[in-house]
Chains A and B, each alone.
Chain A
């Protein structure tokens, strides 16, 4: 869908993209906090049908976030930029990851950071884009092998306020994650939102030994 819209919209030149990114950076600098609702559709090779989930996300530039999935399989993903916790209330269990060790969870951070922050993206991606109606469609293709290990392609739709409306991420194995954001606000978010302490009785695992 994003590909089709890119083809029919008004293409942006490299200079336009550079200018757009500069404006986005300015905007982000003045509003480092983002709070939004999201709906996600995940198509992975392990499953026959896409998995659909929804919830809320809190983000503080450059790398702190909290993501709460609601529904039958609720979960809470919290990162303070150094650690990442995934908590499953139904199982009373949590996974703890340390970031920045080429861990697979770095992809999660990178995806959220790319979508909601767009900090430094021109150094890690080849970016093409187009102006569509009131917003912009950007296609990000990774430059470095380390980023290529996380994404094959990353499409991003921004509204007129430069807020992410939709992301479409294709991973190297062919898995695809489409996320739609709505109800975005930029009110200040308390620091405690990005800290997590497992509730008593929680079984904590450190997968992959990291």
Chain B
């Protein structure tokens, strides 16, 4: 017995059994879904693996404290700048009181007495960490005559009116901790370049480290609910004009993205089902089969999700878009099968026989359609992106099940005794077009060839270029408040660009110290050569046990009593207040205590107060694991091109120092060849697979050539449309080309296979063209509905695919059909089999 007959018999005679099987399958899938569902909302995981720059981003994202940092900004009207300045401390204080707030930075710590005091508490370990020669030179300033000379000069400068001595004596009364505190002074200089207040003073920034326990989507949502509640009443006490309270940061993004996923699922799936249903109803004017089609598609989605969860453990947020795509693709099979079933019923076949005919006639086409589509999507695995790999696998699984269910379960929703559709105006229009084209293919062939040649010329021509957007903004969610806040802040702040991150992990403190010493020395040379605009590293904060021990030995030879006496005498002679110099005496006590070889070496981490604003600086450099660190190199120009990232990769590297270069700008520049490879090589591989499959299937050079030209026209018109509509390629929607190839080739297969075999043009060619049109339109709707998604990678992919599929469909109907009729003419004969000419 043929498979089609077996299926028909089961569907006609064992309906209860099939229903039972369907219910069991749905139950198992739902159980897996409830038990295992876990969604990965990290945008970095959408990027391909195997790139060190992306590994670096993940490390920075996962292990560094900045991920728990939120940036608040207050933005006022120009006439309210003084009020804003007055309000800022109150706002910062309110922030500090929030239960989710751990630390707040509202200004440079150097400008507050607490900040200076905190800095003095860590002076000793940093001083001990100086290079031994520099340490000896620094300690030489404690010789009595040097102390006398320095303080005398300071007094004269104060008399002369200089503000410098007051600041210098306030921070470093002995003149020894200045060199040790250099990294903090450098950080303060950075603050001058990247201030917390905009030049026009209408915007003030507050950095907040939150105490959230994890960066999971739910935890971020919980935090942002609290933050938004605070934001709603944050301008209490403000008596000026409109005041915007902006918030951005990792948690704000994660919260918005994860919430937008819910919207994306509902909006894209809902609109996809609605549009696809509408097209189906227009084509067949039946509700129950439409319900059956929806049920079969839903079951396909469920099965694919369940298998996907079992295979991957957790699914990327990008993969959630597969449902809408699957609806758009799977409905093709339903339309083809149901269309042929209807045809058979109109021809007078009974229910079981009509099922057998539909499956027998189109089962092969559905199988190959599913195969090419599945292979097309499976090729996403080659992208190296976990998100896209999952999307590809889920759709490949789903499409196979959709094909299977449309040949089986769909018939459960078709009543055996339902009479066939009597008048089908869609079919009549299609039949008229097919008849006209078959009889006179010339006009349509010429018209469509000219149109597609013109579009392909625009599409494949280098002018105008199809722009490639390699900016991180191309990946940000649309209408995101976090993104808008970031843009508002960037617009107000002085022009600056993201530095390149250099991540260094060491096995021990000494190695870390030595590595950063080498890096700092090398980067200094680069800066002198003008290859770097600037850089900051944690070099001075990475303690060297070897240097510290050596410096401690030097300290043991210092006569602290003589220094104290000399200082006392000089203060009295110069008229300085002893109370103002108490930090100097405290520092001498600490140095003497550390000189004791049995005392443990001091560690600035343990000495810096927990609430100190300096932790914001420390957290920039050090991960939770203190042996994992990062430095920042600012380039003379923003990094936008791959050639720049390559050059930086060569120049920033230091022999024997394992270093990962990263940062969003650097990574996106680094990924450019990957994107181009996605566009060119993998799409070319896909095309080779498709044309080979077509050659095997058709075994006819002319038909094969026509199909290849059709695919080329489809892609050319797609690119032309994207150029004309100013739709840019980005890192993710370049993948649409291969999907268009995979889906577009199906339409050709359906039409060409039928053309080759048919003996009844009316039944078979017109009978397949109508479902192909409906299938194409539903696929366009399915992909197009992704355009409503907030996730730009998903919406960009959907729009690009919708455009490509539309043109593939148009090329199949208006170019392939007349071209076949011209190349392999068949005579239209309504009452009997066609005659080959």
Instruction: Give A residues with C-beta under 8 Å from B.
Output: 42, 44-49, 51, 53, 67, 69, 72-75, 77, 86, 88, 90-91, 95, 101, 104-105, 107-108, 143-146, 205, 207-210
Contact = CB atoms under 8 A, between A and B. Distances in A.
Chain A interface helix/strand/loop/mixed: mixed
A201 B159 CA distance: 23
B189 A209 contact: yes
Contacts of B232: none
26 contacts: A42-B158, A44-B158, A45-B577, A45-B580, A47-B155, A47-B575, A47-B576, A47-B577, A48-B575, A53-B159, A53-B161, A67-B161, A69-B160, A73-B160, A75-B162, A88-B162, A95-B164, A105-B163, A108-B161, A143-B82, A145-B86, A145-B89, A207-B168, A208-B164, A209-B188, A209-B189
Given A47-B577, A95-B164, A208-B167, A144 B82 contact: yes
A77 B185 CA distance: 26
A48 B192 contact: no
A144 B157 contact: no
B580 A88 contact: no
Given A95-B162, A144-B82, A207-B167, A48 B156 contact: no
B163 A104 contact: yes
B577 A75 contact: no
Given A47-B575, A144-B85, A209-B185, A86 B160 contact: yes
Contacts of B158: 42, 44, 46-47, 51
Given A48-B575, A210-B192, A91 B153 contact: yes
Contact of B161 (A47, A77, A143, A145): A77
Contact of B85 (A91, A108, A146): A146
A51 to B, nearest CB: 5
Contacts, number: 80
A46 B166 CA distance: 8
B691 interface: no
A42 B85 CA distance: 29
Interface string B280-312: 000000000000000000000000000000000
B86 A86 contact: no
Given A88-B156, A208-B167, 13 more contacts: A46-B165, A47-B576, A49-B575, A53-B161, A67-B161, A75-B159, A75-B160, A75-B161, A77-B161, A88-B162, A91-B156, A104-B167, A145-B88
A144 B82 CA distance: 6
The 8 closest A-B pairs by CB, nearest first: A75-B160, A144-B82, A73-B159, A207-B164, A73-B156, A145-B85, A104-B163, A46-B580
B404 interface: no
Nearest to B86: A145
Contacts of A42: 158
Q: Interface centre among A46, A53, A101, A207, by most B CB within 10 Å?
A: A46
Contacts of B82: 143-144, 146
A90 B157 CA distance: 10
Contact of B577 (A48, A69, A86, A91): A48
Contacts of A107: 163
A88 B157 CA distance: 8
Contacts of A208: 164, 167
Nearest to B571: A48
Contacts of B164: 95, 205, 207-208
B641 interface: no
A61 to B, nearest CB: 21
B598 to A, nearest CB: 37
A46 B155 CA distance: 9
Interface in B148-199: 153, 155-169, 185, 188-189, 192
Contacts of B163: 104-105, 107-108
A37 to B, nearest CB: 16
A208 B186 CA distance: 10
B272 to A, nearest CB: 56
A31 B266 CA distance: 74
Nearest to A175: B166
Nearest to A47: B575
Given A88-B156, A144-B82, A208-B167, A69 B192 contact: no
Contacts of A72: 159
A13 B161 CA distance: 36
A90 B155 CA distance: 13
Nearest to A75: B160
A42 B166 CA distance: 13
Given A53-B159, A73-B159, A101 B192 contact: yes
B169 A46 contact: yes
Contacts of B576: 46-48
A210 B672 CA distance: 40
Nearest to A123: B82
B192 A209 contact: yes
A145 B86 CA distance: 6
A145 B82 CA distance: 8
A208 B163 CA distance: 10
A161 B245 CA distance: 49
Nearest to B188: A209
A77 B161 CA distance: 8
Interface string B62-104: 0000000000000000000010011011000000000000000
A52 to B, nearest CB: 9
B455 to A, nearest CB: 57
A105 to B, nearest CB: 6
B161 A69 contact: yes
Contact of B160 (A88, A105, A210): A88
Contacts of B86: 144-145
A128 to B, nearest CB: 20
Interface string B599-616: 000000000000000000
Contacts of A44: 158, 166
A86 B161 CA distance: 8
Contacts of A209: 185, 188-189, 192
Interface in B781-815: none
A51 B157 CA distance: 11
Nearest to A91: B153
A105 B166 CA distance: 12
A207 B166 CA distance: 12
Contacts of A53: 159-161
Nearest to A107: B163
Contacts of B192: 101, 209-210
Contacts of A145: 85-86, 88-89
Nearest to A104: B163
Nearest to B572: A48
A205 B580 CA distance: 25
Contacts of B166: 44, 46
A70 to B, nearest CB: 11
A45 B169 CA distance: 11
A89 to B, nearest CB: 10
Nearest to B197: A102
A48 B575 CA distance: 6
A102 to B, nearest CB: 8
Contacts of A47: 155, 158, 575-577
B270 to A, nearest CB: 53
